[in-house]
Amino acid sequence: MENTLFWLIFFTLGWTLTDGSEPEQDFMWHLRKAPRVVSERTFHLTSPTFEADAKMVLKRVCGIECQKELPAPSLSDLEESLSYETVFENGTRTLTRVKVQGLIREPTPNVTTKRASVRRKRQVYGTDSRFSILDKRFLTSFPFSTAVKLSTGCSGTLISPTHVLTAAHCVHDGKDYVKGSKKLRVGLLKMRNKGGGKKRRGPKRSRRGANGGEQGEAGRGQAEESARAGRRGKQSARRPGLAAGRPSFQWTRVKHTHIPKGWATGGRGDAALDYDYALLELKRAHRKKFMELGISPAIRRLPGGMIHFSGFDHDRADQLVYRFCSVSDESNDLLYQYCDAESGSTGSGVYLRLKEPDKKTWKRKLIAVYSGHQWVDVHGVQKDYNVAVRITPLKFAQICFWIHGDEADCTYG
């Protein structure tokens, strides 16, 4: 309990001191106009061999200083990177060329919020601040219920009744599809009652608390989420009897997988970390509440500079692990942070909880995909970070197109 109170106080202070005396005006979702991605032509490709190993770390990542020296990509370069492969459950594969319409280039300089010291290669930094979510009232409630497990060992997030967003390296190493991805399955967390009877829903009050409710201020809502996770998770760990059942997974086959060519280069150049994301379409729809997709705001618009995500870390077998931390640096396509995480959590959806414009309600949206531990060039020095791939307007448009097709209205996100 003392640790939970410490984190709660730390988190609240971090939020309070971040952006001055008028946080309510800044910490809300500002809808941004997105371009349109449309298909041009689809080609049939030879079937992949599915022999690659899941690749978690790239040899070298172009960091903030490196990206500043790169010329802005041309429209044709962007269309090449956003063109995508689709692999189907029968092992066949296609390549779809796309066109980008209505692209507005915005000057988005890279920003550094603070200079982080050089750290040793690791994914947990100092004291482990992760929380295992063991109480079934929270495991089966939004937002924790949106987290899924992939049969290749990664995590992902439900973003529609039939779609999961994850990291591209969880199914493709940049040259070929990884072993086991031909018969890829997604595990949705459920609770299995000890008595084998019908599952009961938790008390009305508890469900409302797990869903966040309508709060009057950003600090209270953000701190409440971390406190719930820590208090319930740690109490359940000490007293297993608090959980009325034990977790299991309902596995569903993947119908097909979309991966941008920016990642799936097929050996022609290095895979770009900026495009380490993939969309999986499930064969069977689920009935869970899913996480809505949003466009990643700048660090200064994050309450306390904090991000949140939950996944299935390998060192905590079949436990859903929640964490939050502040973002250390950002580039146009990446978030650099020190969220404690282990392998297995890669592919998790990074989300925020902000106020909706002109409303009193708060909404969580997925704004990045956790890619894992990487060495990056920052200020001329190789540093290690845990990195997340931001959902930019272009990526938002592409993922929306993958879900809804050419006729989709993906104008704002």
* pTM greater than 0.85: no
Percent of the chain with pLDDT over 70: 68
Which pLDDT value is given to residue 325?
87
Residue 178 has pLDDT above 70, yes or no: yes
Q: What is the distance, to the nearest Å, from the Cα of residue 380 to the centroid of all Cα atoms in its chain?
A: 28
Mean pLDDT of 84-111: 83
C-alpha 306/C-alpha 328 separation (Å) is 10
Contact 261, 83 (CB under 8 A): yes
C-alpha 278/C-alpha 166 separation (Å) is 5
Which pLDDT value is given to residue 77?
92
For residue 294 the two structure tokens come to: 């949003």
Residue 205 has pLDDT above 90, yes or no: no
Give the β-pairing of 381-390 and 334-337.
antiparallel
Tell me the pLDDT tens digit for each residue of 243-300.
Answer: 444 568 899 999 999 999 999 887 666 678 899 999 999 999 998 999 999 999 888 7
Q: Residues 6 or more apart from 411 whose CB is under 8 A from it?
A: 33, 34, 36
Confidence of residue 62 (pLDDT cuts 50, 70, 90): low
Residue 57 has pLDDT above 80, yes or no: no
Residue owning tokens 């190993």: 53
Distances from the Cα of 291 to the Cα of 38, 146, 232, 254, angstroms: 24, 7, 22, 19
Which pLDDT value is given to residue 59?
55
Tell me the pLDDT tens digit for each residue of 107-156.
Answer: 544 433 333 333 334 455 556 778 888 888 888 889 999 999 999 999 99
- The more confidently predicted of residues 25 and 305 is 305
Contact 342, 154 (CB under 8 A): no
Which pLDDT value is given to residue 164?
97
Longest dimension (CA), the chain: 62
Q: For the chain, state the CA radius of gyration.
A: 20
Going 253 to 170 to 130 to 310, the CA torsion angle's sign is: negative
For residue 392 the two structure tokens come to: 């930019």
